[in-house]
Amino acid sequence: MGKSRLNVRLLSCTKEPIVTIALSGKLCYSPSGIGELKQSVQSGSPEAFLDKLLDSGHLSPIEHASFTFGIEGVSRALLAQITRHRIASFSVQSQRYVKMDEFNYIVPPSIGTLGEEAEREYGRQMRLMHEWYLEWMKKTGAAEDARFVLPNAAETRFIVTMNARELLHFFNLRCCNRAQWEIRKLAFAMLALARREAPALFCEAGSSCISGSCPEGRMSCGKKAEMQQASKKLNELLSNGATDEELMEWAIDFA
């Protein structure tokens, strides 16, 4: 048992997502057949047409591109948050079918900043709950019941697929400084990987203040310049060929 660290991988995505989006959008306005339209899009500038779609608010074509992420090192508390984004598909490691002979856990920053003694106490509490779990496993033999004593801090793993429109919405909400810290780190990590794969689509993705005004009113964090600088830093990392590990470090350190 021990503390876990966020790890995100982009497992797969729509091949040529910008071409797919531009083709889908052009189809709405053209009498041409799909084959002819595809040739036109590929020989033209799909990025320019994507910009027109975004500027006009015609967003349904963006839904034809999807991205699948593998996520580890996050808590069951985070799982409860991210599954509220209902236009997504989830496959989650089950506590019913996977026995927790041991489990790793997430340490909140507010506890980590209290020092080593606080972290040791937190770890002791995690081990105690694991002992309770093992005790109920021994008595009942039912993982689906013994899991009830496991903490929200317990690590989970899942795979999630979102279409690009939902991803933009997810980034808009969860990259915001007012989002809860753990899902904000995850959102930044996913954004970094998505922007690397499809920069034309995600170049201005993130919290509302990246490319516009803050919608939070008096609840605003007041850090618009800092958020915009973080987006620029990400672009610098990507232009320099940042590895997955470097992108994870950026997401964890900034968020």
Helix (H, G, I), strand (E, B) or coil at 28: coil
Closest-CA residue to 171 (of 210, 200, 205) = 205
How much is the pLDDT for 217? 85
pLDDT score of 14 more than 90? yes
Mean pLDDT confidence for 33-59: 91
How much is the pLDDT for 151? 97
pLDDT in tens, 102-135: 999 999 999 999 999 999 999 999 999 999 999 9
pLDDT in tens, 209-227: 988 888 888 888 988 898 9
Mean pLDDT confidence for 152-161: 97
Helix (H, G, I), strand (E, B) or coil at 83: coil
Q: Judge residue 81's burial from the number of C-beta atoms within 10 Å of its C-beta, 0-12 exposed, 13-18 middle, 19 or more buried.
A: middle
- The answer to whether 69 touches 11, Cβ cutoff 8 Å, is yes
174 is catalytic: yes
How much is the pLDDT for 152? 97
Higher pLDDT, 255 or 67: 67
- Between CA 134 and CA 87 the distance in angstroms is 36
Helix (H, G, I), strand (E, B) or coil at 236: helix
- Between CA 213 and CA 253 the distance in angstroms is 24
End-to-end Cα separation, the chain, in angstroms: 25
Closest-CA residue to 252 (of 70, 107, 92) = 107
Instruction: List the catalytic residue out of 76, 147, 165, 174.
Output: 174
How much is the pLDDT for 99? 94
pLDDT in tens, 61-87: 999 999 999 999 999 999 999 999 999
How much is the pLDDT for 247? 95
- The answer to whether 158 touches 71, Cβ cutoff 8 Å, is yes
How much is the pLDDT for 27? 93
Q: How many residues comprise the chain?
A: 255
Confidence of residue 1 (pLDDT cuts 50, 70, 90): confident
E-assigned strands of 76-200? 88-92, 155-163
- Between CA 74 and CA 9 the distance in angstroms is 13
Q: Which CATH number fits domain 7-91+156-254: 3.20.20.70, 1.10.3720.10, 3.40.50.2300, 3.30.1360.170?
A: 3.30.1360.170
Closest-CA residue to 77 (of 185, 166, 154) = 154
Q: Where are the domains of the chain?
A: 7-91+156-254, 96-153
DSSP letters, 172-227, are: HHHSSTTS-HHHHHHHHHHHHHHHHH-HHHHTT-SSGGGTS--TTGGG--S-HHHH
The phi and psi torsions of 45 (rounded to 5 degrees) equal -125, 85
Q: Report the predicted TM-score, pTM, of the whole model to 2 decimal places.
A: 0.94
